[in-house]
Amino acid sequence: MVRLTLDLISKISNHKSRREESMAQYLRKITHLNVSDKNIDKIEDFSLCKNLNVLYLYDNHIQQIDNLGFATNLTHLYLQNNCISCIENLEALKKLEKLYLGGNYIAVVEGLEGLEELRELHIESQRLPLGEKLLFDPRTLHSLANSLSILNISNNNIDELKDLEILENLTQLIAVDNQLQHVKRAQLSTKKMRELNSVDLEFVLNKLTKLWKMDLNGNPVCLKPKYRDRLITKSKSLGSLDGKEIKEMERQFLMNWKASKDAKKISKKKTMMNESAAHPNLYNMESDNHLVPVYYDSPQGGKSKLVIFSDTQRPRQNRKESLKQPREEESNSDVAEKIRNLILKTPQSSLPRNDISEPHLIRKTPF
């Protein structure tokens, strides 16, 4: 295999020795170094290249990130498609802005504390053991919270984005071909979702208020009903979803649709509350007398009248227990009894048999 050394750099460079400039002087002046696809398996000392801004090391066989502490001016580092299993030894690269680590064996995003200038992190398609997913060290995410704006975590078996909510300045999130499942879990409270370590996309979008581009193609969540519509209405900043632009007219239409839908829900709830207040016995499910309204035609003619019946004939055991209760708890029962007496005074022929649901209330006439 091949090692990255000053000799290798000298061999692959186009520098021609001149009297006025030695190789050492030339190496000190280098700002861009491309040693990609050279079968390199180890990084050794090449610290003469102190002014490096961009280093291309992709498509090699590097197993460990090492000997880069001298490159304090480095802004772009390309290490994708190597054999790296751990992010390490990068703390000295204070000016690093873009880091490419896709196609390695990294299981945890870590070791990036102190890189306060890092704006882009590309860590897609890690070659992980079957069934495992890419994880995030909270210390690293906290360190990147103010700087990171572009994150690519595609194809890493990720099933939720809870940890990323701390990245408040994130503008682009690429999470293609993962295992994201839920747009919203309305049946769970925020606290419960956190306990289950399962946060939906709508919750994350509430936190990522600067996100304008998100790509989730290839996730199960994309097949959910109204998936796109719901995410557009949830995020005012989102301008592109799954590679398709979100036009202002589309957003406005969906916002109006959502507002109309919410208004109908509120109106329905208010109506039910008003009905409950007007007829408390009809909605009091804990009452001993659950009453049911029944309409019948008056024998004198005219409009139909409303009569309220008890919906079930109580077993004897329940009746005995109800007799033992204090009088102040029998108000509903007294009202129901008065209504029954009033109804039984009405001639039997005036009450249509099909409208009476309580056969035990029908007076039996002797033959």
Residue 224 CA: distances (Å) to CA of 181, 190, 219, 341: 8, 21, 10, 57
Q: Judge whether 137 and 109 are in contact, CB under 8 Å.
A: yes
Burial of 281 (0-12, 13-18, 19+ CB in 10 A): middle
Q: pLDDT digit of tens for each residue in the chain (367 aa)? A: 799 999 999 888 766 555 567 888 888 999 999 999 999 999 999 999 999 999 999 999 999 999 999 999 999 999 999 999 999 999 999 999 999 999 999 999 999 999 999 999 999 999 999 999 999 999 999 999 999 999 999 999 999 998 999 999 999 999 999 999 988 654 444 454 443 333 478 888 889 999 999 999 999 999 998 899 888 888 889 999 999 999 988 888 777 877 777 777 777 777 777 777 776 665 554 444 545 555 555 555 555 555 555 544 444 444 444 444 545 445 555 655 666 666 555 554 444 444 444 444 444 444 4
CB 134 within 8 A of CB 109: yes
| Per-residue model confidence (pLDDT) at position 293 | 54
CA-closest candidate to residue 350, choices 309, 313, 295, 308: 295
What was the pLDDT predicted at 329? 46
pLDDT at 95 (0 to 100): 97
Secondary structure letter of residue 70 according to DSSP: T
Homologous superfamily, domain 2-182+199-260 = Ribonuclease Inhibitor (3.80.10.10)
Structure-block tokens of residue 31: 């700002």
Determine the pLDDT at residue 151.
98
Do β-strands 150-152 and 172-174 pair in parallel, antiparallel, or remain unpaired? parallel
Alpha-carbon distance 156 to 179, whole Å? 9
- Which pLDDT score is estimated for 305? 53
Q: Where are the domains of the chain?
A: 2-182+199-260
Length of the chain in residues, anyone?
367
| Euclidean distance between CA atoms 61 and 157, whole angstroms | 24
Does the predicted model carry a pTM greater than 0.75?
A: no
Question: If we measure between CA atoms, which residue out of 84, 48, 52 comes closest to residue 66?
Answer: 84
